[in-house]
Amino acid sequence: MKKVQQGFTLIELMIVVAIIGILAAIAIPAYQDYTKRTHVSEGMSLAGAAKTAVAEYYASEGTWPGTNTLAGLSESNTITGNAVQKVKVSGSGSITVTYNNKVDTGKTLILVPTDAGGGITWTCNTGDVDNKYLPSACR
């Protein structure tokens, strides 16, 4: 008489669970880094309007604005997003994006303008946001 196998053995099920556990251990940290990078990019897009305002002020006045008001922007704490606490224009036209706990509470990304002979270039590799979360243009 032949015995027909029915279902999976316990060892086969344990192997499948172990494989799923290993895959999850690799995927979850990678996904968390991806979401933080997305939140940092949100700050860059919110800073886009501030970059335009700073450039317009510099073109008309010949100096960099030192505050959001001079640049024609709302108060810094009213420019917020899902992961952004505020966007602030400070001395020399620098734009500071401050993040909340979705990136790291209080971490900043600072965009610094430079007059490039008629145009403005922006340097975004300053601040204290971890480099692995910065957009590729900022690394």
**Interval 23-33: pLDDT, tens:** 999 988 888 88
Distance CA 73, CA 68 (A): 5
Residues 72 and 59: beta-carbon distance below 8 Å: no
Task: Label residue 55 by pLDDT band (50, 70, 90).
Answer: very high
Task: Label residue 117 by pLDDT band (50, 70, 90).
Answer: confident
Q: What is the chain's mean pLDDT, rounded?
A: 90
State pLDDT tens for residues 83-113.
999 999 998 899 999 999 999 899 999 999 9
Q: Which residues contact 122 (CB under 8 A, 6 or more apart)?
A: 51, 111, 112, 113, 114
Distance CA 134, CA 3 (A): 61
